[in-house]
A and B are shown apart, each in its own frame.
Chain A
Amino acid sequence: MLTAVLLALSNGLCIGLSRAVNGHLGRRDGPLRASLWNHVVGFVFLSAPMALQGVGAFHVGPAPWFAWIGGVLGVAFVALNSHVVVRLGASRTAGLVVGAQMLTGVVISNLGAAIDGRTLVRLAGAGLIVAGIWLANTPNAPRRLRRAPAAQAGEPK
């Protein structure tokens, strides 16, 4: 479990690193070209261990069709990230992107499942994450929270 946790954490570091580097390239060549380079370089990089594994590496079970097209979403993901990260900075981009991912994750985890205690706990966690993202992306959020709610009535959002 600890290994899995550390792997997932370093995964987050890799995402941040990749995003910042691609953003840098995107500033010069545009987000779509940054996405292209990202995928070409990644493909070449992964081809080495694939080749080392030999024929066994290409064994695939009866995967559903949609399992094959994650890369299509990946292209949009990298292009969007490259565009945004140089404008909002790394931490706000991270919060916004993964906030949406977390909500998706909670939805996927609960597709077709009955609503039970576990679902409610997940939703509570999602709520905390949404609140955190709001805090991180709202200028002067702590000050706004301290203000009496009455003072906020009638204020444009």
Chain B
Amino acid sequence: MIAFNSRLAHFSTPLFASWIAHGVGAVVALTAVLVWARSRPVSVPAPAGGRWPRWIYLGGVPGALTVLLAAITVNGPLGFSGTLALMLAGQMLFGVAADRFGWLGLERRAPTTGGLLGLGLVLTGSLVIIAAAG
């Protein structure tokens, strides 16, 4: 996915590539919803607070920035592996924090020794790959 989008960015701009990826994705997702998910799932009760917040529809904004940033860095000095490595690190750091504090409607989960050790190994491995990319 990232390779495809970055390839398009290589021949145009990161912005154009991300825009096309989301446009194509919107059409494909609409088709998928019409074919496989015509009816909504059984209604889930809203989380504590009683009402679903408005921001649940805004996941596409950071998502759009993701494609943009990836396209920039993949075609830069980090290359494909280096970009992925740092994206992994950032995601895991965010993940630990989001679980720990129960951000964005996630269930609260305290970080475990194994989880944090794993994070350290992942960061180390990421740095090794970036070093190999030069």
Question: Are A98 and B84 also in contact (CB < 8 A) when A14-B69, A61-B12 are?
Answer: yes
Question: Which secondary structure dominates chain B's binding surface?
Answer: helix
Contacting pair A141 B114 (CB below 8 A) = yes
Min C-beta distance of A63 to chain B, whole Å: 4
Q: Contact mask A1-33 → B, CB, 8 Å, 1/0?
A: 100110111111111111111111101111011
In the complex, what residues of A have CB within 8 A of residue B98's CB? Answer: 16, 20, 90-91
Contacting pair B32 A32 (CB below 8 A) = yes
In the complex, what residues of B have CB within 8 A of residue A24's CB? Answer: 56, 104-105
Contacting pair B56 A25 (CB below 8 A) = yes
Min C-beta distance of B29 to chain A, whole Å: 4
Interface size class of A (residues with CB under 8 A): 35 or more
**Docked pose: A138 CA to B48 CA in angstroms:** 30
In the complex, what residues of B have CB within 8 A of residue A5's CB? Answer: 78, 86
Question: Are A4 and B77 also in contact (CB < 8 A) when A18-B59, A39-B26 are?
Answer: yes
Residue from B20, B46, B61 within 8 A of A68 (CB atoms): B20
Contacting pair A10 B95 (CB below 8 A) = no
Contacting pair B129 A43 (CB below 8 A) = no
Query: Which of chain B's residues 96-134 have a Cβ closer than 8 Å to chain A?
Result: 96, 98-99, 103-107, 109, 111, 113-115, 117-129, 131-133
Contacting pair B119 A132 (CB below 8 A) = yes
In the complex, what residues of B have CB within 8 A of residue A11's CB? Answer: 65-66, 69-70, 73, 83, 86-87, 90
Interface size class of B (residues with CB under 8 A): 35 or more
Contacting pair A15 B90 (CB below 8 A) = yes
Q: Contact mask A90-103 → B, CB, 8 Å, 1/0?
A: 11111101110110
Min C-beta distance of A145 to chain B, whole Å: 9
Min C-beta distance of A127 to chain B, whole Å: 7
Q: Contact mask B4-19 → A, CB, 8 Å, 1/0?
A: 1101101111011111
Residue from B16, B81, B121 within 8 A of A58 (CB atoms): B16
Contacting pair B124 A128 (CB below 8 A) = yes
In the complex, what residues of A have CB within 8 A of residue B29's CB? Answer: 32, 35-36, 38-40, 75, 78-79
**Docked pose: A134 CA to B58 CA in angstroms:** 32
Question: Are A41 and B58 also in contact (CB < 8 A) when A8-B73, A20-B105 are?
Answer: yes
Q: Contact mask A47-73 → B, CB, 8 Å, 1/0?
A: 101100100011111111011111111
Residue ranges of B at the interface with A (Cβ–Cβ < 8 Å): 1-5, 7-8, 10-13, 15-26, 28-30, 32-33, 36-37, 40-41, 43-44, 46, 52, 55-70, 72-73, 76-96, 98-99, 103-107, 109, 111, 113-115, 117-129, 131-133
Q: What are the 5 closest A-B residue pairs judged by CB atoms, nearest first? A: A12-B90, A136-B118, A132-B121, A128-B125, A41-B60
